[in-house]
Structure formats: C-alpha cells, structure tokens
Amino acid sequence: MAGPLRETPRTALVFGISGQDGAYLARHLLERGYSVHGTSRDREMSGFGNLARLGIRGRASLHSAVLTDFRSVVEVIARVRPDEIYNLAGQSSVGLSFDQPVETLNGSIGGTINILEAIRFLKLDTRFYNASSSECFGNTDDRPGDEATPFHPRSPYGVGKAAAFWAVANYREAYGLFACSGLLFNHESPLRPARYVTQKVVRGAADIAERKAETLTLGALAIARDWGWAPEYVDAMHRMLAFDRPEDFVIATGELHTLESFVEQVFAQFGLDWRQHVETDAALLRPSDISRSVGDPGKARRLLVWEAQTCMPGVVARLVEAEMRRRHGEDAA
C-alpha cells in the first residue's frame, strides 16, 4: 500500500550563498525542509568554504551565475524555478567600496534589477528578498532608524544599497511582485572575513594574548554601531518571505555601542587592558564615515514576531570563543 503523499518541499535560490549570510541562510532553510540552490560566479572554481564549515557543502545544489549578466540570471532562475529568491550577492565591504565604487554600484543595482526583471520576464510567482543595509540611512543621529527614516548614505556601498532598495519598491508597486528589502544593521559571526573590524579586533587581541603581537592599530574608536548575531538575522529574512504581504523591515538589536566599548570587551575576554595595546592611525579612516548607527526593530517585532536574542556583549563572547576554537584546530561557526 502506498504511503501518504508528501508535500513538495519549497525551493529557494540564494544568490551569494558562499558569503556569511548566504551560508547561514542555506543552513536555516535546509533545517526547515527546503530544497536549497545557490550560485557563485564559477561553481567549479569556488571552494564554498563557508558551506563546508557549516557542514552543508553537499546538501545545496550549486550553479554558476553572474549577477550583472541578465542572461546568466534568467537561465539559473528558469532552471530552478524557485518559490523564493534571496539576493545576498555582491561586494559587501563598506571600506572596500571606496576603492571599488563602480563594481560595488553595478553589483548592487544592476544585479537586483536583473533578478526582478527575470522574475517578471518568466512570469513566476516567486517571492523575492533583497539584502539592503543600515548604510542607506547614514547617521541615525537623534533616534534609531526605522522604515520611515530618510536615506542619506555616506559610502558607495550605501548609495548602491539605497538605489537597489528603491528598485525593489518600484517593481513591487508597478508590477505587483512579492518583493521586499531587509534593512539589516551590523551582524557578525565567525564567518566574517578578517578585513572586517570585528574580526580584526578579535584576532588582534588573540595574537597579543599569545604574544604574537604587541599592538593593534585601528581607526576611529568613537564610532558607534548596532551589532547583532548573523544566524539570527537570516531567520528574519526567511520570516519576511513567509509574511502574508511584501513589506520592508529594519532588522537590528536596537542597542548602540561604541567601537571602543567593543574593543574593551574583547580584550577583557583575554584578560587584557586594551589601552595598553591599541593604537589609532588616521590613515585607516574612510573618506566619509558614519559616527552613529542604530536601528529600531519595532516593526519586525510586531509583525514578524522576530527579536534579536544576542546583543553586543554576547556577540563578543561568541566571536572570541569561536576564534579560540579555530586556533586549536576546531570550528565553531
């Protein structure tokens, strides 16, 4: 006798699956029974190291696709015909965007438009999530940024993300697509590359504790950020596409901490006084930077029933623990 019919699993396509958020999102969706597909520029050449670190390298179907090439985007979407598409691809470093402004802008706006056009061209009933950023807001001076806060980006990265945000809104309104953007504030994990300041601080402090170095050089310590934990933020992305209507959401902890406070807590984890080891160098400052960036996640709390569980002190503790395990040949991603 035949058994009960199984419901066909939902299919998700993740552009940028090899990055921090892409890898955690892939794991999150696989744990919920999704069939997960992901892309890189050349799947044969990409190591997909983050997927391997999370133990899911062989569980996602991988494809080659170049986000700025419309034909490439159409072909992979037509092949997969996903229920959900997540656009997490593109150059993700704010600092690097000053050195690569054209590539950063082309990837942000061109890639997003290509996905939207592909969904429209193929007439798919696909839900689309676009990774936007707190960088769209620039400084959140007197109150936390929310969905109604005007944009004032202060980097090529922020400019590109702001343009892509409005492209998504336009396609949603003009063509009725289920398309939304997540305005995510800073979110960290052991999968962050070493060039990010959070990893630079953690690895620098560990080197000093192990007597491999004596000092750590940073830029402005007075900047303040809203730091959360990346695995929690990908849950918010999924909830946005599971919501009954397409809306944009700020995803944040709602807490503001200075980089100096972050540094102090990291060094304390190693039993060190940061003031004895940290130097500043004006050469590390960006041409323009954000002094204060904090979000108001109230809408996500009300409508998505999502709330950050890990704020800055917890982020520090997890990053330090993961770094020490990495140095002992273990992995804690």
Helix intervals (H) in the chain: 20-30, 49-53, 70-80, 94-99, 101-105, 111-122, 156-175, 197-209, 230-242, 259-269, 298-299, 312-327
Of 129, 157, 171, 233, catalytic? 157
Active site residue 189: no
Active-site hit among 84, 135, 188, 232: 135
Q: Which of 35, 97, 133, 189 is catalytic?
A: 133
Residues 158 and 109: beta-carbon distance below 8 Å: no
| SS3 label, residue 111 | helix
Active-site residue flag, 34: no
- The burial class, CB within 10 Å (0-12 / 13-18 / 19+), for 102 is exposed
Count the neighbouring beta carbons within 10 Å of the beta carbon of residue 23: 31
133 catalytic? Reply is yes
List the catalytic residues: 133, 135, 157
